[in-house]
Structure 1
Amino acid sequence: MPKDLLLVRAQGLWQELASAPVSFGAAGEVSVVVSPQSRFCPPGWVGIVLLGGAAIVTAPSEEAAARIRKAVVELPADELTDPEAVGKVLPIGEVLGPAALAYVAADGFRPSASAELRVEELPADHASLDALEQAAGAEDVGEAGLADITSPAFVLRVDGQVVAAAGYRAWPSSTAHVSVLTSPDWRGKGLARATGSAAVRYALAQDLLPQWRARIPASRKAAIALGFSELGFQLSIQPA
């Protein structure tokens, strides 16, 4: 699939998640909309998504939207997902992100080819995943979102213990939101790529668009190794 068609699909997803009529403009344009029900961010927060150089912003109220519209006049669209840059033009509190948004189509997918890593398929709620989540810790578990997957879990074991797992949660617009989690002791060994590859292959077989959202550089590298293209970023900010 050409990159521009991938971008159109990705933008369509986030326009739907905005939960209010809004669309991405041309590169460099910023569209701000009032949407208390936005699925970009926690309730009461401001959600920002930059794709293809254009941004859409959801605000929790008319007052917040007016402040944002005034502030973004001073800020290029491609800096809207930089917390430091946003903080210079808009009072902000807590921040979530930024996270890179990457996508892949079947013709661009580069599956993991490691013959040494045997990926096993398990039900999403299999008890074997509990030990992995305990080893990873609450912060990494929350970041990965493995507990929310609706697909099977694709796992790797060492001495019977699951040390890496991946799957995806079904999102709107026929999107598969990929989740990957690796035990801290086993990171940097290609396990995220191997399990993520199995999850992406499964998603593509269901005619879904895989989305890999990542904040951590190692996770971003794993996605790119599998053929994903980074098309933009997401940032959520709590108004001060």
Structure 2
Amino acid sequence: MPIDPLLAGARRSWEELAGVPVPFPPCGGVNVAVSPESGMCPAGWVGVVALGGSAIVTAPSDSAAAIVRDALRELPVQAVVDADSVRAVLPVSRVLGPAVLAYLSPERFRPVPPVASEVEQLPAGNRELRLLEEVAGPEDAGEAGLDEITSPAFVVREGGQVVAAAGYRTWLGGTAHISVLTAPRARGRGLARAAGSATVAHALAAGLLPQWRARRTASRRVAAALGFAELGAQLSIEMTGHSRPRP
């Protein structure tokens, strides 16, 4: 059966980020590869991505890959991105995620109609974005990753201040990784949708595949409202005794 083009594009992006040849199994299952320079996870960690019923995993060394391969073969694919399931079979010291991965094709896009608060553009790295991150706090700012965007920032103001912003970072494989952040006092009023919609429109016009990565329910709701389809999840694992030494 031909693979859905949206799923195929999402898989290509993560296969390139893996840094070594490691394809998603065509009929389910998990492929594990050694990739010390993997872009799927922090350096020295194990990166796991499951999409459409198959998964790929990168490990920092041969020994780590052997342990991971033996442990994960006992789990169904959906469990390899579940933190509790992985902790039960691997010596885990820290975990990032899981985060849901959602993607959008042009025909599924549901743009937000004009609202009272106009969306404007700012350059990536603009000081006003840093001020928004300070207001939102380090946890939310780190989750959003506005400091990593390569596109313009699309922002909404209230009282002259930026209270919502979105943008994207261009990844290998032509993926636009979306970042969205809203000030705590301005949440729940559709401002993230407005900024996110403008960002997605910009990415689609550039011929990129929009990717929305989210852990929180509110963020997933915004993505769903814009037409994103959830195709899988990502998990990063630091294994005891197998991390790259810190400088």
The 3-state SS of whatever aligns with 1:207 is coil
Alignment of 1:39-58 (within 5 A): 39-58=39-58
List alignment gaps of at least 5 residues for structure 2. 241-247
1:117 deviates by: 2.8
Deviations 1:57-96 (A, max 9, x none): 0011111111111111211111100000011111111110
The 1:52/1:196 distance shift into structure 2, 3 A limit, reads: same
Is contact 1:28-1:76 (8 Å) kept? no
SS in 2 for 1:188: coil
Structure 1, unaligned runs of 5 or more = none
CA distance in structure 1 between the aligned counterparts of 2:232 and 2:27, rounded to whole angstroms:
12
Q: Does residue 208 in structure 1 map to residue 212 in structure 2?
A: no
Residues 12 and 173 of structure 2 are in contact (CA less than 8 Å); yes or no, is this contact kept in structure 1?
yes
Aligned mates of 1:124, 1:203 — CA distance in 2 = 15
> In the alignment, residue 77 of structure 2 is paired with which amino acid?
A
Q: What TM-score, normalized to structure 2?
A: 0.94
Task: Quote the residue 2:220 is aligned against.
Answer: 220
| Identity over aligned pairs, percent | 59
- SS of residue paired to 2:227: coil
Write out aligned runs for 1:74-223 (5 A).
74-223=74-223
RMSD: 1.3
**Per-residue Cα deviation, 1:24-69 (whole angstroms, up to 9, x for no partner):** 0134310000000100111111000000010000011111111111
Q: CA deviation at 1:235?
A: 0.2
Select between 105-114 and 11-20 the one with higher mean Cα deviation: 105-114
Residue deviations 1:192-240 (CA, integer Å, cap 9, x gap): 1110000000010111111111111110110011000111000000002
Aligned to 1:73: 73
**SS at 1:178's partner residue?**
strand
Cα-to-partner distance string for 1:110-140 (whole Å, 9 max, x where unaligned): 0112522311111112222232111011111
Q: Distance in 1 between matches of 2:91 and 2:35?
A: 20
CA contact (8 A) 2:30 2:73 kept: no
- For residues 125 and 77 of structure 2, the distance between their equivalents in structure 1, rounded to whole angstroms, comes to 41
1:18 equivalent in structure 2: 18
Whole-angstrom distance in 2 between the partners of 1:127 and 1:140: 17
Supply the AA of the counterpart residue of 1:96: L
Secondary structure of the structure 2 residue equivalent to 1:56 = strand
Number of residues of Structure 1 aligned to a counterpart in Structure 2? 239
